[in-house]
Chain A
Amino acid sequence: MNEQFARRVVVITNEQGLHARPAQLLARLALQFDSIIDLVRDSQRVDAKSILHMLTLGADQGTKLIIEAKGPDAEEALDALVRLVESEFAADETIGQEKSG
């Protein structure tokens, strides 16, 4: 077994924070990987494959989160997830119906 462990720090930079849509995008992406993936905010640790659990973080703009992955595709999973967060959940913001107008 090629078991990897990976850990990265990200900052939620989009204005709306980690609301339902970003959480859904993250969960959908995380589910594509076999690794166990957690999001950690201070002492809270949640499953990145569960929208419900990620929403409990209440992560608003500026929140620092740690993403941890353990499993055969941990590195690949983190690369993809970090890219999504750093793009400010690109799909979310470009469609942008949630933006105030």
Chain B
Amino acid sequence: MKFVDFVSREAIRTNIEADNKEQVIRSMSSALLEAGKISEDQHESIVEAILKREELGSTGIGRGVAVPHTKHPSVKELVGTVAVSESGVDFDSLDGEKVHLLFMLVSPPDRPGDHLRALENISRQLRDETFCRFLKQSKEPADVWQLLEEADNNQFV
């Protein structure tokens, strides 16, 4: 699965202003709402489900990256977005590092395979340090999108 298959271009945010986990998650889900990927009446329910998932264990996967996510019956296909935080957000990651790059995923409950393929793609691409660093340095959503497209075209691995 490629980035362009699940990342909503209109919902990418850079220079995100958030000091904590809840703020950044709210900010990203608002971006999905504004992009028309999730519905207004489901917004709060999705935020709460993602926060609840974080309580089970941080989705900070190391290297300054987190993948906050949930399954939610209101989406018909996997939707996702990317956020970049220059100052970093404390995310209780296993390696203790602040998170600068976030991939949020909301998937239909009956499609565990899609969710796993998206995680596989994200982690595989982020193993490349250059790609990871460039993404974290992105100043504009358009820069993020371009990097994702380049990664999809195997320009990093």
Residues of A within 8 A of B (CB): 15-21, 23-25, 27-28, 31, 50-60, 92, 95, 97-101
Residues of B within 8 A of A (CB): 49, 52-53, 56-59, 61-63, 65, 67, 69-71, 73, 94, 109-110, 112-113, 115-117, 119-120, 122-124, 126-127
Q: Give the docked Cα–Cα distance between A31 and B57 (Å).
A: 16
Q: Give the docked Cα–Cα distance between A99 and B147 (Å).
A: 33
Does A55 lie within 8 Å of B112, measured CB to CB?
Answer: no
B15 to chain A, nearest CB (A): 24
Q: Give the docked Cα–Cα distance between A39 and B153 (Å).
A: 27
Does B109 lie within 8 Å of A101, measured CB to CB?
Answer: yes
Given contacts A55-B122, A99-B109, 11 further A-B contacts (CB under 8 A): A19-B119, A23-B61, A24-B61, A52-B61, A52-B63, A52-B65, A52-B123, A52-B127, A54-B123, A55-B61, A56-B120
* Dominant secondary structure at the A interface: loop
Which of the residues A21, A59, A60 comes within 8 Å of B57, measured between beta carbons?
Answer: A21
Q: Of all chain A residues, which has the CB nearest B123?
A: A55
Does B61 lie within 8 Å of A20, measured CB to CB?
Answer: yes
Does A58 lie within 8 Å of B116, measured CB to CB?
Answer: yes
Does B57 lie within 8 Å of A19, measured CB to CB?
Answer: no
Does B53 lie within 8 Å of A98, measured CB to CB?
Answer: yes
B107 to chain A, nearest CB (A): 10
Contacts of B123 in A (CB 8 A): 52-56
Does B110 lie within 8 Å of A50, measured CB to CB?
Answer: no
Contacts of A19 in B (CB 8 A): 112, 115-116, 119
Does B119 lie within 8 Å of A58, measured CB to CB?
Answer: yes
Does A56 lie within 8 Å of B124, measured CB to CB?
Answer: yes
With contacts A20-B69, A52-B61 taken as known, whether A27 is within 8 angstroms of B94 at the C-beta atoms is yes
A53 to chain B, nearest CB (A): 7
Which of the residues A21, A28, A57 comes within 8 Å of B94, measured between beta carbons?
Answer: A28
Q: Give the docked Cα–Cα distance between A46 and B94 (Å).
A: 17
With contacts A16-B112, A53-B127 taken as known, whether A58 is within 8 angstroms of B117 at the C-beta atoms is yes
A91 to chain B, nearest CB (A): 8
